[in-house]
Amino acid sequence: MHALLLIAHGSRRQASNDEVRDLTQALKQQTDDQFQIVECAFLELAEPSIPDGVSACVEKGAESVTVIPYFLSAGRHVVTDIPEELQKAQDKLPQVKIKTAPYLGSAQGISEILIGLSKQAS
Amino acid sequence: MHALLLIAHGSRRQASNDEVRDLTQALKQQTDDQFQIVECAFLELAEPSIPDGVSACVEKGAESVTVIPYFLSAGRHVVTDIPEELQKAQDKLPQVKIKTAPYLGSAQGISEILIGLSKQAS
């Protein structure tokens, strides 16, 4: 089984963390064939941590975990902190294959989404 | 003329601010009919500020400015700080119509983008 793990920064504000959890639910409903397990994890300020998120996927039977950094820019978190946390997870769980997708802000489709949002301005 | 103003948080890391500027250029090329002016502004840590970004649009001839918050969650920045900065701009420039679009993280299309990114994982 293949898992998708959405990694967000985490916030002191629970509503922000819940937005990530809601998005994870939406992803779960949209990725039927490709990923049988869809979870989220947080770099800091919220649970589960990244290693715990990877462990949760493995406990549910994942042989591979595809990580998507839910970040807008390639700052320290994306370049250094998330890879370090993933390495900790990999050291603890050598049997799982961890792959990392490009971070959200690098996606081509962002500008179309922004143009769509501009039409809803009031 | 109508202006689109992308508002990002701003970073100490210039490369992150430049990502926003590059995205602004991409938006400029994609919005030909709707917006004749496309600019970006930063809440903090980078220039131009939000009031300066609105002023720049007006100086280029904008009668209306549509603001898009380039933020992932409806935290304090989106709910309080950006509206306060926009109010400052409005007080200085009462003739311009400022409209605000929903913030990026609220867009329906985000989950499709994430699924697309997952296919590029390595």
Per-residue pLDDT tens for A17-38? Answer: 999 999 999 999 999 689 999 9
Q: Sign of dihedral through CA atoms B39, B43, B46, B50?
A: positive
pTM score of the predicted model: 0.93
Mean pLDDT to the nearest integer, A58-80: 95
Q: Which two tokens stand for residue A36?
A: 């049988």
Distance CA B31, CA B68 (A): 14
pLDDT at A69 over 90: yes
Of A88 and B75, the structure prediction assigns the larger pLDDT to A88
pLDDT at A75 over 90: no
**Which helix (H) or strand (E) element contains residue B69?**
strand B64-69
Do residue A109 and residue B114 have CB atoms under 8 angstroms apart? no
Q: Residue B13: list chain A partners with CB under 8 A.
A: 73, 75-76
Cβ-based neighbours of A77, under 8 Å, separated by 6 or more = A9, A43, A69, A71
pLDDT, position A47: 97
Using alpha carbons, select from A73, A28, A102, A9 the residue that is nearest to residue B118.
Answer: A102
Using DSSP's 3-state secondary structure scheme, residue A7 falls into strand
pLDDT, position B33: 84
* Mean predicted lDDT score pLDDT of chain A: 96
Distances from the Cα of A19 to the Cα of A28, A95, B112, angstroms: 14, 31, 16
Distance CA A51, CA A37 (A): 16
CB contact, 8 Å: A35 with chain B? yes
Of B16, B66, B99, the CB nearest to A73: B16
Per-residue pLDDT tens for B77-120? Answer: 999 999 999 999 999 999 999 999 999 999 999 999 999 999 99
Place of tokens 């920045």: B77
Using DSSP's 3-state secondary structure scheme, residue A95 falls into coil
DSSP for B15-68, please give it: HHHHHHHHHHHHHHHH-TTT-SEEEEEESSSSSS-HHHHHHHHHHTT-SEEEEE
pLDDT, position A33: 84
Identify from B110, B112, B122 which residue to disrupt to test chain A contact, counting A C-beta atoms within 10 A and taking the largest count: B110
pLDDT at B121 over 80: yes
pLDDT at A114 over 80: yes
